[in-house]
Structure 1
Amino acid sequence: MLRYFAYFIHRLVQVIPIALLIILANFFLLKMAPGDITDVMAGEMGAATPELMAMLRQQFGTDQSVPLQLMHYYGKLLSFDLGFSFRNGMSVAVLIAERLPATVLLASASLLLACVTGVGLGWLSANTRRPWIKNGISILTTVGFATPLFWIGLMLIVLFSIHLQWLPTGGVEDIDSEYEGIARLLDIARHMIMPVLSLSFFYLAIYARITRTAIKDVERLDFVRTAHAKGLSNVRVSVVHVLRNALLPIVTVTGMQIGSILSGSVVIETVFAWPGLGRLAFDAVSQRDLNLLLGILFCSSLVVMLTNIATDLIYAALDPRIELK
């Protein structure tokens, strides 16, 4: 346990310079984009006189040089201040804290569904002797790879919300409802069905393909033949011995998919009006809210880096041969 803790602290120290570089890259990339919040607000006011533009730029600090703005932003981060969203009239940290639970709920549920279903389908495809099952799973995974997330979401809305009227079109819960306790949880679950299915479909295909390949590779190893020679049942060998060792690449893929699933949630949250960080980032881009967008990108980068550390720790726990350095 001590070596795991020491490795975690060591990797955590390495995260700091990487995070600073990510902030630097994000800052200059966003500054290269044309327009800023003053252009958006002046356009909405219907008056873009030079005096008004100068006043807004002074108010928002965009009249300063880019290096000076960057130094001021780094200074705020040292005091754990992500800045202020002038567009929303709130602290960036407060906005992220309000939207983060919805994104975590959507992403974790989608990843869990994709992992469990994908691993199950991959195991079934690797062990079944029925061609129609293998072909069916292969077709399903091919469709999952080729179909855009937003198209799946729109088709689910057309089918289950418009034609069948079984599920709500969007949101995380009914705004005008007064549900509490179990009733509220069930209402949230109803709103989650279509977004979770849409976001998990692509990753389900990845898990199914990787699991099938990993199982086929492990089945060729000597210890599997030894387990069969001892008289163990095929199901026991497949589940206890083969599948456990085949989980190693799946853990790696899971760590790698965290960043991808966060970016995919931007599309899904927009389609289903899901009040998460993805929707907030989309609004920040359209409104040129630099502080808010930097805060979201920074927090997302931290989540990805911490997930990579956790993936290494889980990997070492599953396989004692791996040394943490």
Structure 2
Amino acid sequence: MKKYVIRRIFQSIPILVGITVLTFLIIQLAPGSPMETMIDPKISPEELQRAQDNLGMNDPVFMQYFNWLKEIVQGNLGYTVKSGESVAHLIIERLPATLILTGSAFVLAFVIGVPFGVYSATHQYKLPDYLLTVFAFIGISVPSFFFGLGMIFIFALQLGWLPASGMETIGGNATGLALFWDYLKHVFMPAIVLALPTVAVVMRFTRSSMLEVLNQDYIRTAKSKGLGTRVVYLKHALRNALIPVITIFGLSIPFLFGGAYITEYIFNWPGMGSLGIQAIEGREYPVIMALNLFTSVLVMSGNLIADIMYAWADPRIRY
């Protein structure tokens, strides 16, 4: 198992290098320049040229890439063009809020999706199965911004049960359990909105995989031995049925971070998603590149976690 993990980590290194190349080239091909948002009508062409030289924007593309990569390896993600603030500092400042939101959505997705999928499979072609299927199609089809605005309208504006935006009550001095409850009320709606598509996908994958496993010979053998239905479903069927679901487990991590852009913007959540939208609007290319690189690393980490879980669930894979 240890050799398998080490081999997978080494295989990820050239992929990561390729990701940095693609990230850099995509930003280079983007129209416009961050300098266009800073141009003073009274600035002379010489001063503009000097500013571009200081930023290294006139160097050859390959030199710009290697300079950027060298700084990335040293832990320097660059500085914002307008304010000169450290990009790494901005990301670290926003990261906890995004981790709270995506972590809550991740837990909800699998805590709800897997049991619903198992229940749907064990009640095939019955009313609960049809109801859960309709729920899954709604979760996949409804856009997150529409669902989020609908929840704000109902639970925040009409009923007044939950706050409409933010991460905590402005001006609140709550501590301890009261502060935790305040965070919980603020994260509930955005976490539900962010988790809903993943819940639907996990539920459908679990249902399909469970139905395939339940038709296997060893399941019929376990039943014929007189084992209880709960033991057959949970001990013998579920573990094998979860192997395809592990794929969703790994890929849902970057998916949730990507979906957080829209969700954080709707609920005014102070995380990396709202930072990314602000960077796009302001053409803050260093911030966009850092966020793209961060998301790419998440994709690789998710795939690595999925592979490790595959090897745990099915020992044949590690060999």
Instruction: Return the TM-score normalized by structure 1.
Output: 0.92
Choose 75-84 or 287-296, whichever is displaced more.
Answer: 75-84
Q: Does 1:38 align with 2:39?
A: no
How far off its partner does 1:264 sit? 0.9
Partner amino acid, structure 2, of 1:211: T
Offset at residue 53 of structure 1 (A): 3.0
Name the structure 2 match of 1:260.
Answer: 255
Counterpart of 1:104?
Answer: 99
What value does the CA root-mean-square deviation take over the aligned residues? 1.8
Which residue of 20, 24, 49 maps to 2:21? 24
Match of 2:58 in 1: 63
Task: Tell me whether 64-73 or 152-161 shows the greater mean CA deviation.
Answer: 64-73
Q: CA deviation at 1:269?
A: 0.9
**Contact kept? 1:266, 1:279, Cα under 8 Å:** yes
Q: Which whole-Å deviations, capped at 9, do the CAs of 1:86-112 have from their partners, x for residues lacking one?
A: 334322211111111211221121121
Report the counterpart of residue 152 of structure 2 in structure 1: 157
> In the aligned structure 2, how far is the partner of 1:186 from the partner of 1:206?
29
Distance (Å, rounded) in 2 between the aligned partners of 1:9 and 1:94: 31
How far off its partner does 1:218 sit? 0.3
Aligned partners of 1:73, 1:87: CA distance in 2, in Å?
18
Whether 1:299 aligns to 2:309 is no
Q: What SS class does the counterpart of residue 246 from structure 2 fall into?
A: helix
2:172 corresponds to 1:182: no
Q: TM-score, normalised by structure 2?
A: 0.94
One-letter identity of the residue aligned with 2:20: I
Deviation, 1:130, is: 7.4
Partner residue of 2:11?
14
- 1:36 and 1:289 in contact (8 A); partners too: no
Spell out the pairing of 1:84-99 with structure 2 (5 A cutoff). 84-99=79-94
Mapped partners of 2:147, 2:41: distance in 1? 39
Q: Which runs of 5+ in 2 are unaligned?
A: none
What amino acid sits opposite 2:100 in the alignment?
Answer: L
Aligned partner letter, 1:254? F
Report what 2:211 is aligned to: 216
Q: Post-superposition shift, 1:136?
A: 0.9
Structure 1 residues 47, 192: CA separation in 2 closer, same or farther (over 3 Å shift)? farther
In structure 2, relative to structure 1, the CA distance for the partners of 1:105 and 1:61 (3 Å cut) is same
**Partner of residue 129, structure 2:** 134
Gaps of 5+ in 1: none
Counting aligned pairs with the same residue, the percent is: 33
SS in 2 for 1:199: helix
